[in-house]
Amino acid sequence: MRLEREQSLVVLIDMQQKLAPAIHETTQVQQAALWVLEVAQQLHVPVFATEQYPQGLGETVPVLRHLIAPVHIFSKIHFSALREPDIRQVIQQQQRQQIVLIGTETHVCVLQTALDLLSSGYQVFVVAAAVGSRTIENKQLALSRLQQAGASIISLEMLAFEWLDKAGNDKFRTLNQGWIR
């Protein structure tokens, strides 16, 4: 299955201030998540975020929070975002079948959200560079399990090029300028 911009919705899961320092390669994970959010914004793909018990873990890290409308940030207590009625409702209201997941922790909240999305009939895409766990082993095990369960594990460029669909237009030229690193 191919990722379609008009069918996509991005969910940033629990990339929060007090948890972020404990995440393996947190700077790289945050930069990848930032890139996903910026591309989504430029291509008009809706973005939502969750915060696991923000009273204890803090808000979404500032570098990402400023790109998400406050009404699109949802507090949760379940590990799976889909177990929260308001989050489930807003995802359903979008009427988009492809959910792109980024955030932390890969082996807990990202995994459980993805499994519930898959069992609800959604196509799930996990951006490997934009998810993280406290240990690399937990991240790798989660990505493997997600793939076995039917989620597509994708790279940053897979996401962007599939959303763009073709070269030779202004959106491609604009986004392509930032890809040469």
Please give the average pLDDT of every successive group of 10 residues along the chain, which has 181 residues. 96 97 97 96 96 94 95 97 97 97 98 98 98 98 98 96 77 56 39
Sheet holding 73-76, edge to edge: 73-76, 47-52, 8-13, 98-104, 123-132, 152-154
Report angle CA 31, 32, 33 to the nearest 5 degrees: 90
Are 80 and 109 within 8 A, CB to CB? yes
Q: Which pLDDT score is estimated for 179?
A: 52
Catalytic one of 14, 116, 139, 171: 14
Catalytic one of 109, 116, 139, 171: 109
Domain spanning 5-165: CATH superfamily: Isochorismatase-like (3.40.50.850)
Q: Which pLDDT score is estimated for 177?
A: 56
Other beta carbons less than 10 A from residue 5's beta carbon: 19
Catalytic one of 18, 76, 170, 171: 76
109 is catalytic: yes
In terms of Cβ atoms closer than 10 Å to its own Cβ (0-12, 13-18, 19+), residue 7 is middle
Q: Which pLDDT score is estimated for 15?
A: 97
18 is catalytic: no
Are 11 and 48 within 8 A, CB to CB? yes
Q: Which pLDDT score is estimated for 165?
A: 84
86 is catalytic: no
Cα–Cα dist 148/7, whole Å:
23
Q: Which pLDDT score is estimated for 180?
A: 40
